[in-house]
Structure 1
Amino acid sequence: MEAFHGLDHAFIFTRGYSSNFEIRPFTKRDENMAKILTNMVTNFAKTGDPSTKRFVWPPFKGNVTTEHVSIDLPPKVIQGELHWPNPKFWNVEADLISQHVGGDGDTNFQLSAYRRAWWALWLLVAILAIVVWGIVIYAVVSKGSSPRNKPYDNIVITR
């Protein structure tokens, strides 16, 4: 499997984490990758250095760095500049996304249900706002027109 954005979540948060995907079956190799990646992330958060007991991650030296790390089993340092994948990568990625998102009737049905629920929620908010304002306006108008609220005739101001 080639890496894609967010793939690390499946290895770092292996249980009890709600993600958009999970790897099934989670093989022994995947478990080893999860241990290494979690160790690297933890070390980086603690010390600023993702190196582990078995792998030394070389520090980045700005524009003069000519090596990069391949996080694989085992992790390795690769000599040469880091290049983005060729445009073919994005074409393949877009094709995979369209296969898994666009054509699935269940996914489209679920997304439509979410959209309807969103609009229903806003309709409910609007109705509640109208009802609350109606009550406030009624209370103000009825209080002002009550016979007990006549202006006082016996107020005398002396100077």
Structure 2
Amino acid sequence: MTSDKPLFFPVDAAESSVIGQGIAYWQSLRGARRFPTRSQVTLRGLRGLAKHSTLIRVIDGGRDYEFRFVGDVPVSAVGWNFQGRRTSEPEVAAVMQANYRQRFYDEVVGTGEPRLFKCRMVEHCRLRLPMHSETAYFPLGDDDEVVDHLLGFTVFATDGG
């Protein structure tokens, strides 16, 4: 299905092998727990996934989000490095609203379940670009009830390429 609006799916609906590797990594960390802790996620563990990764700290139960680590793929797609920035900052908030990310983060934090975000068209500089993207976010937390970080993996590809 082709759509110009992002859609949320269970992560097992991912088409990308990178997202599949992210699912396997998250599942290996959590073991029998509902979700793993932030301290279990390491650059060494991420290996080749690091360039596709984003680590977000959940502030005050989701009232705000801070980008703690942003890999090269998300930085290239947005056109600037938002590491250390918060979704409440006007420049960041404009990007988050444009691609429904805030709602996406809220859903993962609220449900404690991983989610997949798919988009078939991207608006950039007021141009609609044929682009396929998949991003999966996974909850992290010190206990099985409260999500305190999100671990994301993102893949972008031009349609037909």
Into which bin does the TM-score normalised by the smaller protein fall? under 0.3
Larger Rg: 1
Normalising to structure 2: TM-score of the pair?
Answer: 0.27
User: Whose helix proportion is higher, 1 or 2?
Assistant: 1
User: Whose strand proportion is higher, 1 or 2?
Assistant: 2
Q: Which has the higher contact order (CA 8 A, sep 6+)?
A: 2
